[in-house]
């Protein structure tokens, strides 16, 4: 009888341990639906549902952005990671010159920030200068 109780107890501990391990891995994984095409890692990805996760859970910060619809993916190396736990996971996209650029990924563990390509920064600067009033007569 004691052996049966020990087997049940061992099984419960194993199940709980597996559940905690899966939760730890999911804290850096998000699934988001993006309603328009966007640029990440130098590639334009079509609108759709995307899963963003770390490539390696051993502490490295490389991410993969993978389409749930087509399976296509892009590897991304964020420029900054800030430990800022959030309640909601989300993708931040910035519109520049008619295109959307992935600039940040908020996970439950923190925020991954991506650098914008130089061409996008130049385009944004040109748009800003063109939109500002010229004060000359």
Arithmetic mean of pLDDT, 61-70: 89
Cβ burial 31-41 (10 Å sphere, 16+ → b, else e): ebebeeebbbb
Report whether pLDDT(3) > 60.
no
Q: Do the beta carbons of residue 65 and residue 41 sit within 8 Å?
A: yes
Q: When comparing pLDDT for 97 and 38, which is higher?
A: 38
> In 1-117, where do the E strands start and end?
30-34, 38-40, 43-45, 48-54, 63-67, 73-76, 80-82, 90-96, 99-106, 111-113
Q: Which pLDDT score is estimated for 10? A: 42
Q: Which pLDDT score is estimated for 47? A: 94
**Cα separation of 135 and 70, whole Å?**
50
The CB-side HSE value for 129 (13 A sphere, CA atoms) comes to: 6
| Residue of 84, 64, 89, 82 lying closest to 74 (CA atoms) | 64
**Cα separation of 39 and 124, whole Å?**
15
Mean pLDDT of the chain: 75
The CB-side HSE value for 83 (13 A sphere, CA atoms) comes to: 1
Adjacent-strand bridge partners of 82: 111
Q: Which pLDDT score is estimated for 60? A: 64
């Amino acid at each position: 009888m004691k052996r049966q109780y020990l087997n049940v107890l061992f099984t419960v501990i194993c199940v709980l341990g597996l559940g905690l391990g899966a939760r730890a891995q999911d804290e850096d994984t998000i699934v988001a639906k993006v309603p328009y095409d966007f640029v990440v890692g130098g590639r334009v990805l079509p609108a759709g549902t995307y899963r963003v996760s770390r490539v390696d859970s051993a502490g490295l910060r490389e991410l993969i952005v993978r389409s749930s619809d087509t399976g296509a993916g892009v590897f991304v190396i964020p420029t900054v990671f800030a430990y800022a736990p959030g309640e909601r996971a989300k993708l931040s996209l910035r519109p520049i010159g008619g295109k959307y650029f992935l600039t940040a990924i908020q996970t439950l563990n923190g925020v991954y920030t991506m650098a914008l390509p130089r061409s996008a920064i130049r385009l944004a600067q040109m748009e800003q200068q063109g939109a500002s009033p010229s004060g000359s007569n």
